[in-house]
């Protein structure tokens, strides 16, 4: 189902009805995601891949995506925190558009993973030093990843050297056909939604307006997009697990569509 199909059907439903359907649909996707992650973790332990950086990176990005989504839905269910539930959707969006880029660009995967892990080491190292600690743990991890001396030492390297992904505007252009059913040239549409989500936590006027119930239709529109993120994540996970869950994934998508499009 495309984003526009979602949006068109939901425009005539009450906000209460939309939230109810969102929550039901989310838990259908979450059930499949939990099963995928459990099976993936069993596979990692069985094959002794706990220290495999490639596996570690992908598994943890997907895992953190679902942690963000569960947090968002938990807020949505609470009337007091309802209008803050959209905040985690931005980080979910960042992760799914990066996973789409990662999946599309097989030749770049090793480089992406290495840079992301190096960047994490640098970030943690700087935080440790800032807190008066040595940061040796992260320096050693960095040096292990940087055995070929491709990059400067951890205390000299520039963050720009470790950027593994294009900017978010480019990532949105590459993901729009998958997430919204549009052409790559429609990327501005998806990027504008990303900019909107990015502005919410910063106390700007949009954030203030979010508390105006007149904006509920726009608000639930963003949660419809979140459902697309969830759907695409279980599909990507299935792809990287050699289609082990394809039937269950397709069945889950059909169930969610039935919930969304029911009268």
Q: Which of 79-88, 115-124, 253-262 has the lowest mean pLDDT?
A: 79-88
pLDDT at 205: 47
For residue range 86-105, list pLDDT tens digits in order: 889 999 999 999 999 999 99
Whole-angstrom distance, CA of residue 237 vs CA of residue 118: 24
pLDDT band at 80 (very low <50, low <70, confident <90, very high): confident
* Max intra-chain CA distance, the chain: 61
Instruction: Quick: pLDDT tens for 25-60.
Output: 999 999 999 999 999 988 888 888 777 777 778 889
Residue 97 structure tokens: 């558009």
**pLDDT confidence of residue 87:** 86
Q: What is the pLDDT of residues 175-207, one digit of tens each?
A: 988 888 766 566 788 898 898 888 765 555 444
> What pTM, to 2 d.p., does this model score?
0.86
Residue 97: CB atoms within 10 A of its CB come to: 27
Quick one: average pLDDT of 153-159?
Answer: 94
Q: Residue 26 in contact with residue 227, Cβ under 8 Å?
A: yes
Centre a 10 Å sphere on the Cβ of residue 170 and count the other Cβ atoms it contains: 14
Q: How many residues does the chain have?
A: 263
For residue 254, with 0-12 CB atoms within 10 Å meaning exposed, 13-18 middle and 19 or more buried, which class applies?
Answer: exposed
């Amino acid at each position: 189902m495309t984003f526009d199909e979602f949006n068109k059907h939901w425009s005539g439903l009450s906000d209460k009805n939309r939230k109810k359907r969102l929550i039901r649909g989310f838990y259908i996707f979450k059930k499949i995601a939990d099963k995928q992650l459990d099976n993936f973790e069993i596979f990692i332990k069985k094959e002794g891949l706990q220290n495999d950086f490639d596996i570690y990176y992908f598994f943890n990005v997907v895992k953190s995506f679902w942690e963000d989504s569960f947090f968002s839905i938990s807020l949505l269910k609470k009337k007091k925190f309802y209008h803050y539930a959209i905040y985690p959707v931005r980080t979910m969006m960042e992760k799914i558009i990066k996973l789409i880029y990662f999946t599309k660009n097989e030749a770049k995967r090793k480089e992406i993973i290495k840079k992301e892990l190096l960047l994490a080491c640098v970030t943690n190292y700087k935080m440790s030093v800032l807190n008066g600690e040595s940061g040796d743990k992260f320096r050693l991890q960095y040096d292990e990843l940087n055995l070929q001396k491709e990059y400067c030492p951890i205390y000299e390297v520039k963050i720009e050297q470790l950027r593994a992904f294009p900017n978010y505007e480019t990532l949105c252009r590459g993901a729009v056909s998958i997430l919204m059913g549009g052409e790559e040239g429609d990327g501005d549409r998806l990027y504008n939604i990303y900019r909107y989500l990015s502005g919410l936590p910063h106390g700007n006027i949009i954030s203030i307006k979010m508390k105006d119930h007149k904006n509920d239709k726009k608000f639930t529109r963003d949660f419809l997009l979140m459902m697309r993120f969830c759907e695409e994540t279980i599909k990507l996970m299935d792809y990287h697990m050699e289609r082990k869950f394809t039937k269950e994934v397709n069945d889950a998508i059909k169930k969610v569509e039935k919930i969304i499009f029911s009268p």
